[in-house]
Amino acid sequence: MKGVVVKSTGSWYLVRDEEGNLHRARLRGKFKIKGLKVSNPLAVGDRVEFEVEQTGEDTAVIFKIEDRENYIIRQSTHKTAYSHIIAANLDQALLIVTLVSPRTSFGFIDRFLVTAEAYDIPATLIFNKTDLYDEDVMDYQRQISHMYGQIGYPSLAVSAKTNEGVEEMRALLQGKTTLLSGHSGVGKSTLINLLVPDLALKTSEISDFSDKGVHTTTFAEMFEVDQDTFIIDTPGIKELGIVDIPAAQLGHYFPEMRERMNQCRFNNCTHFNEPGCAVIEAVRHNDISLSRYESYLSMLHGGDNRK
Ligand SMILES: Nc1nc2c(ncn2[C@@H]2O[C@H](COP(=O)(O)OP(=O)(O)OP(=O)(O)O)[C@@H](O)[C@H]2O)c(=O)[nH]1
Ligand SMILES: [Zn+2]
């Protein structure tokens, strides 16, 4: 049978078959990922082949993992330890942000976008809580959306309270597997509740299986919106684990810098204080937004990109 992993603990997995039934499964044999030490060989979103058999707690055995289109990992804070794959086979990532109550910082947004670039996952910004925006904040939101739109990140304004934009958000998700991310308090859970029918039921179905095992940390859960539409939630993960990006490479993950950097005088330009830097020139002329450039500098000098 074929299925998709909807929960991964590293020792056992929950697999949803094509008819929508859940199976608790283990992995047959050892699977290794080249050049990566991971604590879980299989992650939420992985497409697998499995057979059903009764082996103690687990009722299925996974014998094949299909090649991944992409995946995101969470790096361990200790250099020596293993990484954890958060999710695989994502079509897109939506970052939920708010301009009031709480206000999401540009630094946070831009680190998320750099991560999405690094993993090659299209990203969209969702501005939630528009019911709380006054005219000035509305204007500001439109300006920010315009700025991000110009560099290739679409956005959508929604309110989980008034339902404004929620149908458009549903349309964005349609037929795709989408990672939803956002700072605590932006309304991610409220939106997921609006978007996923019978969410409470699905959550309890999934946790029914979890209760059979010892307590294990999971990093992501996948919910079905409809037969070919899925949402991946990452509870407790504020930021995606960013890959280590050398200083000279960081600009590649800012699309508006990437398109200008071959005009810099030095080909190893870090766009900080080098003479003849095309990026700095573009910031001076407002062709690159100052807030994006500030995020870039803060990542460049932050050393540890995860901060
Ligand atoms: N006014 C307004 N309040 C909202 C909206 N969406 C969510 N909220 C409120 O914002 C608060 C946080 O919402 P949650 O859905 O719990 O936020 P979350 O992002 O899941 O946060 P964590 O559970 O901490 O990860 C709750 O009090 C919600 O009722 C909205 O569109 N407008
Ligand atoms: Zn430069």
Q: Render pLDDT for 196-233 as a digit per residue (tens, 0 to 9).
A: 878 877 777 777 776 554 445 567 889 989 888 999 99
Query: Counting every residue, how long is the chain?
Result: 307
Which of 171, 195, 219 is a domain's end point? 195
Assess if residue 148 is contained within a domain: yes
Q: Is residue 142 part of a domain?
A: yes
The last residue of a domain, from among 35, 67, 86:
86
Whole-model pTM? 0.89
- CB-based contacts of 288: which residues, under 8 Å, 6+ apart? 256, 257, 260, 279, 282
Are residue 100 and residue 184 in the same domain, yes or no? yes
Q: Which of 221, 230, 101 is nearest to 174 (CA)?
A: 230
Mean pLDDT of all residues belonging to the chain: 87
Please tell me whether residues 36 and 11 are part of one structural domain. yes
Same domain, 105 and 184: yes
Same structural domain, 167 and 106:
yes
Mean pLDDT along residues 241-247:
72
Place of tokens 């029918």: 197
Atom 17, ligand 1: residue with shortest CA distance: 187
Verify that 111 and 16 share a domain, yes or no: no
pLDDT tier, 307 (very low <50, low <70, confident <90, very high otherwise):
very low
The domain that contains 75 carries what CATH number?
2.40.50.140
Q: What is the pLDDT of residues 63-74, one digit of tens each?
A: 999 999 998 887
Closest among 289, 288, 285, 267 to 276, alpha carbons compared: 267
Both 82 and 97 in one domain: the answer is no
169 lines ligand 1 (CB under 6 A): no
For residue 281, the domain's CATH number is 1.10.40.50
The residue whose C-alpha atom lies closest to atom 13 belonging to ligand 1 is: 187
Are 161 and 128 within one domain?
yes
* Domain presence at residue 292: yes
- What DSSP state is assigned to residue 239? S
Residue 226 or residue 253, greater confidence: 253
Is 240 domain-assigned? Answer: no
Report the complex ipTM.
0.97
CA pair distance 92, 68, nearest whole angstrom: 14
Other Cβ atoms less than 10 A from the Cβ of 232: the count is: 24
161 is in an annotated binding site: no
CATH number at residue 141: 3.40.50.300
Q: Is residue 239 part of a domain?
A: no
Whether residues 38 and 133 fall in one domain: no
Is 125 in a helix, a strand, or coil? strand
**Total number of domains in the chain:** 3
pLDDT 10s digits, 146-155: 999 999 999 9
Boundary residue ending a domain (195, 215, 231): 195
- Residue indicated by tokens 């690159």: 288
Q: Are residues 99 and 190 in the same domain?
A: yes
| Pick from 46-50, 89-93, 114-118, 137-141: least confident | 114-118
- Site to probe by mutation for ligand 1, drawn from 126, 189, 193 as the one with most ligand atoms within 8 Å of Cβ, is 189
Instruction: State yes or no: 149 annotated in a binding site.
Output: no
Distance of CA 82 to the CA centre of its chain: 20
pLDDT tens for each residue of 22-40: 999 998 876 666 666 777 7
| Residues 113 and 50 both lie in one domain | no
159 occurs within a structural domain: yes
Residue 215 lies in a domain: no
Identify the residue whose C-alpha is closest to ligand 1 atom 8: 187
The domain in which residue 32 lies consists of: 2-86
Please report the pLDDT score of residue 306 as a whole number.
42
Query: Is position 213 within any domain?
Result: no
The answer to whether 183 is a known ligand-binding residue is yes
